[in-house]
Amino acid sequence: MRITMIGGGYVGLVSSACFAEFGTEVTVVETDVVKLAALREGRMPIYEPGLEQLVRENVKAGRLAFTNDLAAALDGTEAVFIAVGTPTRRGDGHADLTYVYAAAEQVARALTGYAVIVTKSTVPVGTGRRIQEIVSATRPDLRFDVASNPEFLREGNAIGDFMRPDRVVIGAESDRAREVMRRLYRPLYLIEAPIVFTAIETAELTKYAANAFLAMKVTFINEMADLCEKVGADVHDVARGIGLDGRIGRKFLHPGPGYGGSCFPKDTLALVRTAQDYGAPSRLVEATVAVNDARKSSMAMRVIAACGGS
């Protein structure tokens, strides 16, 4: 089986290396000349435990390659994954889908036969439908399907998360697209990893819902930490006491300065904006964003005060 990955960033590179380890022939398309040169020389643009060795082994085995030639990469491919950046759009908090839509149009122009066009990037509800429109308008003659396959990779454990996932979510609506995705993920079927097939919109929303829920857990325990300070309780014992409840779980119950990183801030904000646009505002996620922002400001003021205001 042959697939193409558009984007050699964190998600694209980890996913490509792991798919190659499954035995799939993967070509990564990277337009950044500096990053492409590094990848071809075996130097990783990111740090992830085990990634460099995994990439090196699969390049040597001929299952993984890097290029900036989109047409060549798409020759004979069965699935094209779009794994480009979706940063927060300046001014309104929505996800910036400029790179996603540009990639979809470029793929449409270069494909010579049927393929499943899969969003691996984190994208809001409706993106898959818009990609269908773009591809159909660009190439009315092209036979294709669109699918959503969100990633659930944790930095520092991304390879393990991909190889032994809690679940794989695939939004696909034709039998042909589902069959392509089943064959691609066959190694995970063999270890009985849960493979969940849904509608495209469901898969898109699942990624945001998962990150928002985890962000809410972080924010909740931080609010409990503030209350514990007032009443003389130990927040770590509170976290352990509730975390031992199987319905709640221990993870993400660690008090601190609030959530950050590359995903939670932009994904919670994008979900808030999407929910507002559709007339179904998510008050819990809105409060999570507001409380987290306030906590970071409060922590910054504490640091300034501790340093004597300088």
Catalytic residue ranges: 263
Going from the C-alpha of 23 to that of each of 2, 63, 168, 186, 200, the distances in angstroms are: 10, 7, 18, 10, 26
DSSP string across 156-196: TSHHHHHHS-S-EEEE--SHHHHHHHHHHTHHHHHTT--EE
Instruction: Evaluate the CA torsion angle 20, 211, 39, 4 in order and state its sign.
Output: positive
Cα–Cα distance measured from residue 117 to residue 5, given in angstroms and rounded to the nearest whole number: 10
In terms of Cα–Cα distance, which of 51, 60, 63 is closest to 2?
Answer: 63
Encode burial over 240-279: b for 16+ CB neighbours within 10 A, e otherwise: eebbeeeeeeeebbebeebbeeebbbbbbbbbbbbbeeee
Cα–Cα distance measured from residue 44 to residue 226, given in angstroms and rounded to the nearest whole number: 41
**Across the chain, how many H-helices and E-strands are there?**
13, 8
Please, how many CA atoms are within 13 Å of residue 177, restricted to the half-sphere of its CB?
21
